[in-house]
Amino acid sequence: MNQDPTCLFQEYISPYFRSLQDSNQDITTIIQVGEILKIFDLEFQVMCAEPSPPDMGIVDANTMVYVDWDSTPEFEKIHIVPFQDTLPNAYQFDVFSDYLKPYLTKSKHKRFGLNEQFTYQGVQFKVVCCDPQGPARIGRNTTIYCEGVLHPSLRNLLPPEVLEQLSHLPPGLQMLLLNTEALAGGYEERLTEVQEMLSHRRGLTDEAINRVQRFTWSGGPEEVQCMVCLSAFEQGDEVRKLPCNHVFHATCIDEWLRRCTDCPICKANVERGVRQ
């Protein structure tokens, strides 16, 4: 078939809406963003509309319609895993046949990406691995894996955009931010804390940070490893000693203190200690 978008408009979109208008089926001209339209032998998805919101409106003679071929690739393979605490325990089931396959069949036009999450019939899933990384669609030739389960750790439950922000931080800082498990309903509160830390809204000012003791490392009885970057201290490194006596690389702990007022090890309030 001709891949020119003009062909799509002339042979599908224009005849379709003209036929609705000619038959006076005005109600069928109401469309919604995300809706799938079956037009002759092709399926079209409404991607966006203006004004927005609302996401529903009428297509009439004054509506400008844009159409193009969907170039979203298909996954070669994808691994989707359920969260263990969302799986039913009152009856026997097959994760793929009873949950994953029905959802994917229902959502055949959906685009997925790495770390994306979705819920079907109460079971929460996460894309843990895919090739390519996406966004892409699951097609007939996509190999789908669903082995294993995920536990409700904060890292597993964080949305993709927050995980992307975390990926740019030092490994130790990531570990410190994620050191609380999302259990017993505490996930939402902890997620809010992590998001606020990432946006620099909960930490110390640079003026307060500069009041924390700073010196050149020359060895001593203190820690031998910075718990933010997980690297050993070396002669000549610039370090800071917090009021609680824990020592870190200066650049590492400065980054942490801009996000949080507490020592990452013992949780002692640094701001209070500096004032005293």
pLDDT tens-digit readout, 22-65: 766 554 578 888 888 888 888 888 888 888 777 788 888 788 88
How confident is residue 275, by pLDDT bands cut at 50, 70 and 90?
confident
Q: Could you tell me if 133 and 100 lie in one domain?
A: yes
Contact 262, 270 (CB under 8 A): yes
Domain for residue 232, yes or no? yes
Q: Could you tell me if 86 and 147 lie in one domain?
A: yes
pLDDT in tens, 125-158: 999 999 998 899 999 999 999 999 988 777 777 7
> In this predicted structure, what is the pLDDT of residue 134?
80
Task: Using the predicted structure, report yes or no on whether residue 189 has a pLDDT greater than 80.
Answer: no
Q: What is the pTM of this model?
A: 0.58
Domain around 167: 160-198
The domain total for the chain is: 4
How confident is residue 182, by pLDDT bands cut at 50, 70 and 90?
very low
For residue 260, how many other CB atoms are within 10 A of its CB? 19
Contact 141, 72 (CB under 8 A): no
CA atoms within 13 A on the CB side of 46: 20
Domain for residue 63, yes or no? no
